[in-house]
Structure 1
Amino acid sequence: MSTLTQAEQDEVARANASGRRAVVFVHGLWLLSSSWDRWRRLFEDNGYATVAPGWPDDPGSVEEARQNPDVFAKKMVGQVTDHYLEAVAGLTHAPAVVGHSFGGLIAQKMAGEGIAAATVSIDNAPFQGVLALPASALKSAAPVLTHPGSLGKGVSLSFEQFVYGWANNLDEAEARELYDTYHVPASGAPIFQAATANLNPFAETKVDTKNPERGPLLLISGENDNTVPWAIVESSYKLQSKNSGVTRVVRLPDRGHSLVIDSGWREVADTALEFIQEFAPAEP
């Protein structure tokens, strides 16, 4: 039985009907797939089809999500990855994949399955083998990790927590706008999964960095990201760079974890688009 909604199946069908290569967008915690809307328009204007599934059971709007926080509860990395892999399996051509935060981790897991023509991972959550554990990342995760009951709940961030983890590089007015526009509850489970990954040989956050079919990979890091500091992306890059495929890393100055949704989103999107155009042209 499919885990894709009818709307998600329709997106896959439209991408196939277009004859163009699809770019699959993978959002992370505390966002919905609608957070990619501007990115989708940019990529479509440049000749790509786009597909942006939600996580399983994601509500259709920010308002609905805030009214039903527990719909996010207990969503785990393996389940979510399988959901996106199902969408990719329905595509006629190998897609490019773009993910942010835990979506960046999932994008790398998908690349490790050998299904991507090119992959862009933005401020990725740490996967098994990434040992860096900066203090700011622990503080950003504290709203979940310091409350064990969060493992089975949908967790919201306060505005102050959102500012520290996401909007530390923005003025208060823009931070408030992003919080009001985009922030939704999120499953606490993936954060516990990432935190314990190096103690669990069967961790769902494991990434196959050695698969020769992984394809070209670009990692993007926001220089001032408190949630996923440079040390995590750098460690991810060092592991991925052992792959025989193209592996690149870009560190964008003066950017925080909100870099895919804030007023500077276009710089990040253009960086991703340029890489994908190089290795996964819109005409397959």
Structure 2
Amino acid sequence: MKGSKARRALPGFGLSLGFTLFYISLIVLIPLAAVFFKTFELSWAELWSTITNPRVLASYRISFTTALWAGLINAVFGLLVAWVLVRYPFPGKRFIDSLVDIPFALPTAVAGIALTTIYAKTGWVGSLLEPLGIKVAYTQLGIIIALVFIGLPFVVRTVQPVLQDLEKETEEAAVMLGAYRRRTFFKVVLPELMPALLTGFALAFARGIGEYGSVVFISGNMPMRTEIAPLLIMTKLEQYDYAGATAIAAVMLTVSFILLLIINLLQWRMSRRAIPD
């Protein structure tokens, strides 16, 4: 009797867990371990010289800061887009909803070429911004716009199902108790959405850090100014400096893991607070 109680409701846990660990190791852990093993072919002096080169440090700063700004912009406007798609009926809603997923399907190189064409000095938008002294193409602003373009669906598709499952009765009760709409949103709705919003931000941020195709065209690839770390890795590979390329990648991987770990811890704490005692 006790043995039957100890059995799981769904059989096959051991087999499925073993397959899961094998799959994750084969697809994720082994390639990531290879990056570090290749990096350790360098001596400590060579490794330190590679990762602290001024050009490499500048590429780190550009990659992480532009990805951070793009992630924050996507968090705000992704929430707004998800809110409109869930809460308001309007003509063409399904069409607009399908447009959100276009960056998922569009090749990143095509996106980069299109954005460069639009935001160049002679482009449709760039020609309007040029008289105002705003330059987009071949600047860090252009990189941010490209990362916003490819990162928006991550936030929208993460927040949208949570917003659909959110009970409207809670908002109506808050309004009936005298809370203004702004207070209801920030005190009732936003706390429920924050874990999903943080997840969408983390996905958009992580995608932005490693993005190459959509950025390489609009950035201009100017060292110390608009050169991103993935481009520098490609440059090292073209020079057959595989250890140098993996050294740069290892630093990006480590910093990204730490940042994503912090974000996940914040998400976990917010989820714990949202669960009533």
TM interval, shorter chain, is under 0.3
Task: Identify the structure with the greater helix proportion.
Answer: 2
Q: Given the two structures, how large is their TM-score scaled by the length of structure 1? A: 0.25
**Structure possessing the higher relative contact order (Cα contacts under 8 Å, 6 or more residues apart):** 2
Point out the structure with max Rg over C-alpha.
Answer: 2
